[in-house]
Structure 1
């Protein structure tokens, strides 16, 4: 049996959706079936451009016949083909649309997953959009009280921020992960996220911000009594003493080697600045405090 010509299927489907003097309403049900057959035919031919267009139209058709779940699935197929074609703007747009359609079905997990797929596809080509997609994917799960399902997304977004050398953003995202972990009582993940943020500030050679971060996190009892907190305390002591070898030793300790690889790599490069300058700044601050008569 001969395989139907996808071009003819597309033409027939397009005709069914166009209004005329003899057709007052579009026949989306039959048109959608034809678009789906055409998409499969084009994909078999490896004509990705036309397959992408057919899946877009099939998605629109499923929307028109009130089937948002199937519409989302077709939109994801179009997005995957856009990735193959290197159409990065479409990758983002299509996965975002798929996410919206899943949310219409009341399904937060597939909605978040769609954005995560888009983010993963864009990490190398458009990393800034990738972190936006990861962030939006986290928001969907956070709003649904499913923070624990977002842990891999926090991890992925942090990794992209580090690759972009946007270290402050990476630390902020790790603190956000810590808050999410606190909500679902994932103490180990929470403490690891806080230690990771402290390490990033130390890598930035921003000792003051690292200490502030440590002090803020220490308001949480679970962190204060954790191995990760003790590890951070040892790092601060080594920094204050200007002991480079001790910093390197602590960076090899168990609490750090159990963090994500991207954080371990940063920790192994500590210290990144001049510790003598750090001690000099602290000494100057102490002198200022002594002169403060208020």
Structure 2
């Protein structure tokens, strides 16, 4: 099946590429082999990134779920990051942030605290890049319900960034974007962070944030 998918790729038959890799994955699942099943979906996703990016993301997410169903969350991290990167390329920022938060949840399940905190900060940066300060702030408030994030370098960085936005301080935003904490994130996130702020932030100065009830089930 994977050989057939390779031929379909060479011929540019992108729908067939996805179908063949999905079928290969199903056959591995039938044999109880979650890792090769996930790998087949990931290969399909990589093949489709340029031609059918949204289909590629679906394959990446399915690959993640295949691993998670077998208790292998940590092996899904790179796939979540790849899916988020594809969404960023096609400027679907809310979807990218959602994928990053799913990565954080997977990291939480296997006690990968550092990855979890990086994923949360990355999601906040993506919302800011989309010039959605309110959603970035809500995301930050939700993330702060997680003790591991609350006491992290990533939270301190997020606080500085959001405070700079609240103050309308463009120079401070740029300084934070150059910080070592952000430099340790994925390349796609770093590229977007270094372009902050997007749009006018002076209108945010002195604006009172809207309070929303916290959903404790959101991120735990």
Aligned to 1:254: 180
Unaligned ranges ≥5, structure 1: 1-74, 287-294
Aligned to 1:196: 122
Determine if contact 2:143/2:150 at 8 Å carries over to the other structure.
yes
Output one character per residue of 1:265-286: Cα deviation in whole Å (capped at 9) or x when no partner: 1101111121122237x25979
Aligned to 2:8: 82
Aligned to 1:134: 60
Distance 1:239 1:138, change over 3 A: same
- The TM-score with structure 2 as length reference comes to 0.93
Establish whether residue 223 from structure 1 lines up as the match of residue 149 from structure 2: yes
User: Secondary structure at 1:109's aligned position in 2?
Assistant: helix
User: Secondary structure at 2:136's aligned position in 1?
Assistant: helix
- The TM-score with structure 1 as length reference comes to 0.70
Cα distance in 2 for residues equivalent to 1:161 and 1:89: 19
What is the CA RMSD across the aligned residues, in angstroms?
1.4
Aligned to 1:154: 80
Cα distance in 2 for residues equivalent to 1:283 and 1:134: 39
Cα distance in 2 for residues equivalent to 1:104 and 1:214: 41
Cα distance in 1 for residues equivalent to 2:210 and 2:161: 21
Aligned to 2:94: 168
Aligned to 2:202: 276
Distance 1:283 1:225, change over 3 A: closer
**Structure (1 or 2) with the larger CA radius of gyration:** 1
Cα distance in 2 for residues equivalent to 1:241 and 1:123: 39
Cα distance in 1 for residues equivalent to 2:208 and 2:137: 16
Determine if contact 2:167/2:202 at 8 Å carries over to the other structure.
no
Superposition pairs of residues 1-294 of structure 1, within 5 angstroms: 75-279=1-205, 282=207
Higher helix share: 1
**What is the number of residues matched between the two proteins?**
211
Cα distance in 1 for residues equivalent to 2:113 and 2:210: 35
Unaligned ranges ≥5, structure 2: 212-220
Cα distance in 2 for residues equivalent to 1:285 and 1:109: 44
